[in-house]
């Protein structure tokens, strides 16, 4: 049975799929500016740009989602003609693990790469939550040294400042999962479920405060809506030890380390985590990254089954307002840490790795909130050559080619409207200038240039049509040989 032919009067509704956004030049220019600035920082640190394909075999993605109770769904998958399932990449890290395992013998080790591009998540979309968005990552694969983590932290801090955040507007908060894991073992928490609930409780410190975390570490918490969340059921001694750990952050990394050293965890993992943080502190200090840019905060947890050691988050420090004008924290604009088990899925051998990732759209929103928008209010358009006559089209295209050869964006108007509409078109494009080449100009070897920026400015001071026509604000006629120089003067102004 074949499908019935589509009716000739069928008209599909023009609509974008839910969770997929159309973006115009302004948003794309902001994204490009961010990526260019961050890429320059990453390359100064010696990281190589890598691009992997949009699709990965589904089995290569594996169980890489952050939490144990989240199902490994949420990907856009299809079956290839060889019956293998493949899916659009969920992030940029799983493809890196596959690439490293596949090419390990020929790669320089450690392998330092950065990447950016779209990722896709088959999840329910919502306000600010899209099914396709752009990520930017930097990772070092093959180094277990804490200095590799320190370098990623320093690079992330420098990258955030390169895109427009002032020093102090964002801070990298750093912890080590070994501190949390070691402390829990030291206070007798060995049940995996109990440990998971405790770690999740610690991760809510920013939102719930010490009182809320204390309740979740104990019997549980009744929230404002009346919903009850069962707690980790820890004993009071274990809760006190965890609260002491969470209360140790200070503005200075050295003071935080001293406060952590006073905690008797009775665990080799805790001691190992302390040693790694101390080495990270030394490396950050050597690179000139002070505590105002990166500090230690043991409440940072991040992906519970993903990270194996150091973890960090880039936290926006400025005050922002919600849609009702109330002050709110913007929160995390990126994060990362050490994940030493990901490549082992392919090879069976542990390969140490550490990295940082941020969502470009969220960072652009953070810059907007910080008053340091990544892109212009409106994207500048090209110089527009007005088309008066079909017979003179070769002259118009010759002028456009002359401007383009000089590196100036230009276009000939190719619609069917008259001059008034063409000028309106140029204005809507935010064109810096319009070129008018009528019969008189062609005969005389001249061009008339209308400085649209100056015209917009002067139009406010010119009263009435007659004054406009007589004064012709921002309009000059120059020899054809002076075209490029005259347009460059407008662009420079």
Q: Which is it for the CA torsion 121, 122, 124, 127, positive or negative? A: positive
pLDDT of residue 467: 53
Query: What would the pLDDT profile of 375-419 be if each residue is shown by its tens digit?
Result: 666 678 999 999 999 999 999 999 999 999 999 999 999 999 999
pLDDT of residue 463: 54
pLDDT category at 366 given cuts 50, 70, 90 is confident
What is the SS3 string spanning 229-282? EECCCCCHHHHHHHHHHHCCCCCCHHHHHHHHHCCCCCCHHHHHHHHHHHHHHH
| For range 277-288, the mean pLDDT | 97
Q: How far apart are CA 405 and CA 155, in angstroms?
A: 38
pLDDT of residue 323: 66
Does position 471 have pLDDT exceeding 80, yes or no? no
pLDDT category at 216 given cuts 50, 70, 90 is confident
pLDDT of residue 209: 84
- Tokens at 86, concatenated: 């493949």
Q: Which is it for the CA torsion 350, 355, 361, 362, positive or negative? A: positive
For 83, which DSSP code?
A: S
Domain ranges of the chain: 25-369, 383-492
pLDDT of residue 151: 97
| For range 299-306, the mean pLDDT | 78
When computed from its CA atoms, the radius of gyration of the chain, rounded to whole angstroms, is 29
- Tokens at 171, concatenated: 């801070």
pLDDT of residue 71: 38
Query: What would the pLDDT profile of 146-194 be if each residue is shown by its tens digit?
Result: 999 999 999 999 999 999 888 888 999 999 999 988 888 888 888 888 8
Q: Please report, to the nearest 10 degrees, the dihedral formed by the alpha carbons of residues 63, 68, 73, 76 taken in order.
A: -60
Query: What would the pLDDT profile of 2-24 be if each residue is shown by its tens digit?
Result: 555 666 788 889 999 998 989 88
Query: What would the pLDDT profile of 304-335 be if each residue is shown by its tens digit?
Result: 678 889 999 999 887 776 667 777 777 888 99
Q: What is the CATH number of domain 25-369?
A: 3.30.930.10
Least confident segment among 89-98, 258-267, 289-298: 258-267
Q: What is the CATH number of domain 383-492?
A: 3.40.50.800
Q: What is the mean pLDDT of the chain?
A: 86
Burial 278-316 (b: 16+ CB within 10 A, else e): bebbebbeebebebebbbbbbbbbbbbebbbbbbbbbbb
Query: Nearest-CA neighbor of 461 among 473, 451, 450?
Result: 473
């Amino acid at each position: 049975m074949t499908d019935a032919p589509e009716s000739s009067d069928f008209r599909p509704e023009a609509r974008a799929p839910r969770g997929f956004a159309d973006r115009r030049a302004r948003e794309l220019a902001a994204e490009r500016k961010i990526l260019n600035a961050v890429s320059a920082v990453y390359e100064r640190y010696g990281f190589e740009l890598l691009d992997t394909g949009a699709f990965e075999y589904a089995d290569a993605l594996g169980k890489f989602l952050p939490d144990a109770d989240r199902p490994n769904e949420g990907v856009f998958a299809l079956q290839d003609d060889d019956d293998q399932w493949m899916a659009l990449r969920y992030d940029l890290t799983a493809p890196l693990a596959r690439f490293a395992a596949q090419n390990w013998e020929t790669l320089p080790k450690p392998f330092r790469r950065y990447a950016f591009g779209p990722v896709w998540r088959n999840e329910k979309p919502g306000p600010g939550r899209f099914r396709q968005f752009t990520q930017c990552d930097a990772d070092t694969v093959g180094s277990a040294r804490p200095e590799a983590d320190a370098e990623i932290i320093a690079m992330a801090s420098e990258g955030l400042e390169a895109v427009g955040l002032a020093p102090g507007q964002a801070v990298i908060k750093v912890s080590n999962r070994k501190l949390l894991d070691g402390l829990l073992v030291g206070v007798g928490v060995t049940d995996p479920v109990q440990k998971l609930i405790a770690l999740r409780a610690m991760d809510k410190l920013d939102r719930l405060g010490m009182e809320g975390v204390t309740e979740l570490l104990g019997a549980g918490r009744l929230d404002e809506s009346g919903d009850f969340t069962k707690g980790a059921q820890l004993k009071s001694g274990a809760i006190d030890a965890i609260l002491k750990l969470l209360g140790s952050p200070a503005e200075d990394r050295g003071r935080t380390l001293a406060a952590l050293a006073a905690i008797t965890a009775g665990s080799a993992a805790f001691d190992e985590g302390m040693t790694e943080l101390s080495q990270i502190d030394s490396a950050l200090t050597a690179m000139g990254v002070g505590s105002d840019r990166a500090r230690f905060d043991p409440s940072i947890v991040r992906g519970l089954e993903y990270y194996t050691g150091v973890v960090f988050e880039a936290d926006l420090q400025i005050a922002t307002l919600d849609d009702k004008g109330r002050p709110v924290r913007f929160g995390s604009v990126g994060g990362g840490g050490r994940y030493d088990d990901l490549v082992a899925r392919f090879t069976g051998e542990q390969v140490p790795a550490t990295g940082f990732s941020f969502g470009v759209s969220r960072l652009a929103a953070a810059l907007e909130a910080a008053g340091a928008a990544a892109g212009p209010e409106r994207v500048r358009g090209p110089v527009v050559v007005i088309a008066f006559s079909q017979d003179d089209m070769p002259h118009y295209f010759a002028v456009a080619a002359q401007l383009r050869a000089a590196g100036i964006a230009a276009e000939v108007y190719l619609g069917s409207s008259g001059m008034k509409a063409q000028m309106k078109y140029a204005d809507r494009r935010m064109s810096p200038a319009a070129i008018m080449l009528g019969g008189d100009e062609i005969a005389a070897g001249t061009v008339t240039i209308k400085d649209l920026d100056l015209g917009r400015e002067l139009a406010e001071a010119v009263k009435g049509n007659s004054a406009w026509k007589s004064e012709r604000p921002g309009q000059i006629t120059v020899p054809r040989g002076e075209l490029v120089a005259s347009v460059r003067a407008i662009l420079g102004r």
